Structure 1
C-alpha cells in the first residue's frame, strides 16, 4: 500500500507479526499491534522485554527481520523507505534528552525546522516560542540545557520533537532518568498532548499515568505481547499469571 492510499479510518501505525533479533537473541517475537489516529498506547513490561526496541523499529532506528510495520500506509521495512520523510511524521523522545549543550532551549527547538524543513528563521522562531510556551517553559527560551533541570530539559526535547509537526509521537521511558518531583511535569506535558489528539505510543513504567491516559495497554515479556486491553480491564482483571505477577510487584 502506498502512502497516498492511507485514510484516517485505518490504523495510523500497524505492526504485523514483527520479529527482531540481535544475533541469536530474539527480542521481538511475532508482535502485532494496530494504533488508530489519536490513540494513546502504553507498552509496559519488565526490563529486556523488547519494549524500547519495538518503538525504535517504528521509527526505523532498528530494522526488523520479518513482518511488517506501516506508518500512514508506508512500509517502514521497505528498502526504498525515505527515512527523513518518516521521521518528519514520527517524532521520538528518548530517556536521555540529547539536547545540544551549547545551544539555548529556543535554538534547540528551532534547529530541525530550519535545517530539515528549510523554514525561515522568523517562522521557526515563532513556532519554537509557541512550543516552549506549550510545554510550560516560558521565560527559559535563552537558558542553556546545563541551566535547566532534568524535567525542563526533557520538556525542551518534547518541544523539539513537536517542532517537526509529527503525526505520531514515540516516548521511550522519558521519565526514567528524572527525579520524582520532575516526573510529574513531563507527564502533564504528555497528557496535554494526548488531550490535543496527538497519537502517542509510550514505553513507560509509570503505571498510574498509564491507567489515566492510555486508551490501550500492552504488556510485553520476552518479546511477545502477553496481554493487552483498556486500562480498567488490564489493571483490575488481568487474566495472565505473568501479567498479574508483574503488576503485583510494581503496584
Structure 2
C-alpha cells in the first residue's frame, strides 16, 4: 500500500547506547500509512530496541523519530507520552497479561484508566475485539486457562482497544508452539488487510514475503538493506543479507 505521501513514521539517523554498548548506529527508515513493515535480522541486531524507540519506551541518544504528529524524542514525561501510546500500541513476545484479571478486564483496563473512556463503551468494544480475534466466549476466562496462541490474541485485542493508528509487534510468535503461530499471524494478516499500519519484528520469513509492503534488514545496529519482498528475498544485494537469508529460508 506504499504511496509517495508523507510517511506516518519517519526515523532519521537514530543512535542508542546502553552504557558503552552501541545498539543502534544511525538507523533511518520511512513507513507509509497502511503499510506492513517487517524488520528482520540476527539476534542482537537492534530490532526490538528500534521498535521500542518508536513509541518512546526507549529514549534515543541522537537522531529524530516522528510518528504521526509526534516528535517522539522530545516527549519526556509519561503524561506527554500518553497521546502517543494512544496512537501507537505495542504487542510483546511475552503476553504481559494480568493473571488475576479476566480476559475482558485485561482488555478494558488501559482505555478506562489511561484514556478515561466510558466503561460501558469500552466493554462493548472489548467484546467486539474478542470476536475479531476469534475468542468470543472467553470474556470471563483467566489467562492461565488459555493456550499461548489464545493469550497472544488477547494481547492483540488489548492493543486494539486503545484504538491505535499503528501497532508494533515484537516477535509475537517467538514463544509459541508451531501450531499456534498461524492463528496469531492470521489475526495480523486480517489487520493488514483492513489497512492498519503494522510494524513487525519477526522471524516468520514466509509471512514477511506474503504480507509485507517493505522489509528491513538490520545487523549490528545498522540498517543494512531494505526493499519490497518481491526483490528483497530473491535478489539480496548485501553479502550479510545473502548470508542471513541462506540460513533462514
TM-score by length of 2: 0.96
Structure 1 residue 140 displacement after superposition: 1.1
Partner of 1:224 in structure 2? 222
Q: Separation in 2 of the partners of 1:112 and 1:175?
A: 23
Q: Separation in 1 of the partners of 2:227 and 2:134?
A: 32
Q: Separation in 1 of the partners of 2:241 and 2:32?
A: 24
Q: Separation in 1 of the partners of 2:97 and 2:82?
A: 19
Q: Separation in 1 of the partners of 2:152 and 2:145?
A: 13
Structure 1 residue 10 displacement after superposition: 1.2
SS of the residue corresponding to residue 143 of structure 1 reads coil
The partner residue of 1:56 within 37, 40, 52 is: 52
The partner residue of 1:112 within 107, 110, 125 is: 110
Partner of 2:123 in structure 1? 125
Matched, 1:71 2:67: yes
Partner of 1:25 in structure 2? 21
The partner residue of 1:202 within 195, 200, 216 is: 200
TM-score by length of 1: 0.95
Partner of 2:235 in structure 1? 237
Matched, 1:84 2:82: yes
The partner residue of 1:43 within 11, 36, 39 is: 39
- Structure 1 gaps, min length 5: 1-7
SS of the residue corresponding to residue 77 of structure 1 reads helix
Aligned pairs (5 A) from 1:138-177: 138-177=136-175
- Structure 2 gaps, min length 5: none
Q: What count of residue pairs does the alignment treat as equivalent?
A: 244
Q: Separation in 2 of the partners of 1:80 and 1:241?
A: 39
The C-alpha deviation readout for 1:111-131, integer Å capped at 9, x for no partner, is 111111212221111000000
The partner residue of 2:6 within 10, 14, 18 is: 10
SS of the residue corresponding to residue 225 of structure 2 reads strand
Q: CA RMSD in A?
A: 1.1
The C-alpha deviation readout for 1:119-152, integer Å capped at 9, x for no partner, is 2221111000000000011111111000000000
Partner of 2:247 in structure 1? 249
Structure 1 residue 176 displacement after superposition: 0.5
Residues 98, 143 of structure 2: 8 Å contact kept: yes
